[in-house]
Structure 1
């Protein structure tokens, strides 16, 4: 059977021979721990199927470590954000297709982050970095750019012109979120966000405000609560906003983790999600579908984002101009049961919440 050049994958070779994909990769990369018999079968299958390793796979042994790196910033509550777990899984899956490895470590401060990057660069532990949770003015990008060390960012900075990145149009998504909630009848719409050092958090706040302005709705700073991007932060944000004399009837959260914290808070005080209080998250994490009620969210597919960023870094390593590897995608609103028309006015919601707060605490559970 004639095959289209490049259409045969390493998975096809592995299935044809009946071995693991990693075994095929090790043979192609000249590792010596595979038996001669298995090696011959794999090389024969490569020839018969017409498998052609990518330029990256052919070049990996030319002074490279076969490893990409990501240093997770454990600040702003990001260590508790399930988005990063899905994102890293997407990276790992994409790299596994090429038989590459992923080095993951953490840093607890800006200084520690730069120290970690400097150490890994100096020791040549990785071939390039994936930068996540980009900041408005990101010292990691400044450091790697100065060192001329390959990297790709998931997210942008205040000046995204000189490097490769993949991002979502955060402003557009949150402006759309405000319009959606307003169309349901909500006029007091709360915003629970994260540190404004994080560029995505700042962009989503801008989108929220732009949405209000476009509708002619007065901006009320009391309806904005900035927290750690974690379930605990969502719990605290819900407490702050729902305790107002005129609370919002809808809460727009910059991550699903924050939205889950809001759900936990409302459950504690017997407030019905989707009727008493509407909640919308952002990330499209799988866990949101299984909440009670299921979470309405803007989906950006963390796994897909991880895979796309990983493949962009491979392109950078293959010599593609980083400035040509910039892509902006749109988030998609997935409606579930956590959003709906308001069932009461802000004054009525305030009275209900104060009554529950004073007389009917349902549990001692706090946001995780």
Structure 2
């Protein structure tokens, strides 16, 4: 079935800009008569029919946010996006907004969906996930001046506070630092780090949290000797740690970049016969809770609320124009929380800075 003609098709046939076609459709009096006639002939020739929802988009009244539904490549940490979407949908509903999901095969296809949704579907803004270095989606949306917020920093950008590139993220460096300091507080010194191969913005950021905590406590330590990497996934992590134990290691515990890696590491540790070897994950997935794995919680409810605050303001009911951050910040960095579970042999200990409530630097104990 042939696709319906779009505003861009009309503009190309008439030899004018997309904005001119929009002006003919919405404010014809500001367009010169000869140009208006040329555009109208192209509209008739193509059989173009303006989409009612597109008109609502231009008027800013669609009350809908678009977000790509990524394929779940990993059943453990892949559930994070589902939890974020649920929290975002609930928070949006409280503001009278809807969330519409779409799928795309890759980044280029995602951008094509942005264009189609802008032209023909009623969305006011987009939310991006899984950001990467020099993300082409961010640059396209900024260039087209379409309101958006990225869940994840615009890695590689020169200015983290650009009002044209709004973002919200979880402070992974702080979360891993907190987890590492917890193990240091228990008297451990040879604390290893299991992360992803270098080059991931999120992964590199989390690793710096471990490096900072170890460096501040132990000074000039050979951190490379304590680091192991694996591609995301339980089997990959299990193999990596099994190889580590077979080669011989003096590690006393592990901090991991994700719950998937931590779960694989936990399996390898137990099979190696080290029942009191602590492992800490990141993401606080339902699996972590089920198996008693201590983990860093991303506080996704706060992430969702911050996403909408950036798009709409603290109490707004409509999406603000692109580049308009109001009087507030153009990004939000959410502080995560370490969830300590006794069944992974990580009962809280007295640490410097612990308050009378038992909140150890943002830690929360669960049985």
Encode CA deviations 1:182-211: one digit per residue, 9 max, x unaligned: 232333222222354432211011222222
Match of 2:296 in 1: 298
Match of 1:176 in 2: 178
Match of 1:51 in 2: none
Q: Does 1:82 align with 2:79?
A: yes
Match of 2:339 in 1: 334
Q: Does 1:166 align with 2:168?
A: yes
Match of 1:185 in 2: 187
Match of 2:47 in 1: none
- Determine which of 258, 262, 269 is the counterpart of 1:259: 262
How far off is 1:252 after superposition?
0.9
Match of 1:43 in 2: none
Cα distance, 1:91–1:66 mapped onto 2, change above 3 Å: same
**TM-score normalised by the chain length of structure 2:** 0.65
Instruction: Tell me how far apart the structure 2 counterparts of residues 122 and 308 of structure 1 sit (CA, whole Å).
Output: 27
Mapped contact 1:190–1:241 kept (Cα < 8 A): no
SS in 2 for 1:69: strand
SS in 2 for 1:335: strand
Cα distance, 1:63–1:326 mapped onto 2, change above 3 Å: closer
Instruction: Tell me how far apart the structure 2 counterparts of residues 105 and 228 of structure 1 sit (CA, whole Å).
Output: 27
SS in 1 for 2:248: coil
Encode CA deviations 1:327-363: one digit per residue, 9 max, x unaligned: 223222221122449xxxxxxxxxxxxxxxxxxxxxx
Mapped contact 2:57–2:122 kept (Cα < 8 A): no
Q: Does 1:314 align with 2:312?
A: yes
Instruction: Tell me how far apart the structure 1 counterparts of residues 240 and 300 of structure 2 sit (CA, whole Å).
Output: 24
Matches for 1:1-368 after TM superposition, within 5 Å: 62-74=59-71, 81-156=78-153, 157-159=155-157, 160-162=160-162, 163-194=165-196, 196-215=198-217, 216=219, 218-246=221-249, 248-267=251-270, 269=271, 271=273, 273=275, 275=276, 277-291=277-291, 294-315=292-313, 317-319=319-321, 320-321=324-325, 324-337=329-342, 338-340=344-346
Instruction: Tell me how far apart the structure 2 counterparts of residues 111 and 239 of structure 1 sit (CA, whole Å).
Output: 38
Mapped contact 1:188–1:249 kept (Cα < 8 A): yes
How far off is 1:310 after superposition?
3.3
- State the Cα RMSD in Å: 3.1
Q: Which runs of 5+ in 1 are unaligned?
A: 1-58, 342-368
**TM-score normalised by the chain length of structure 1:** 0.65
How far off is 1:168 after superposition?
2.5
Cα distance, 1:206–1:287 mapped onto 2, change above 3 Å: same
Q: Which runs of 5+ in 2 are unaligned?
A: 1-55, 348-367
Mapped contact 2:194–2:256 kept (Cα < 8 A): yes
SS in 2 for 1:321: coil
Equivalent pairs counted in the alignment come to 278
Mapped contact 1:255–1:283 kept (Cα < 8 A): yes
Cα distance, 1:60–1:122 mapped onto 2, change above 3 Å: closer
Mapped contact 1:284–1:301 kept (Cα < 8 A): no
Task: Single out whichever of 332-341 and 75-84 deviates more from structure 2.
Answer: 75-84
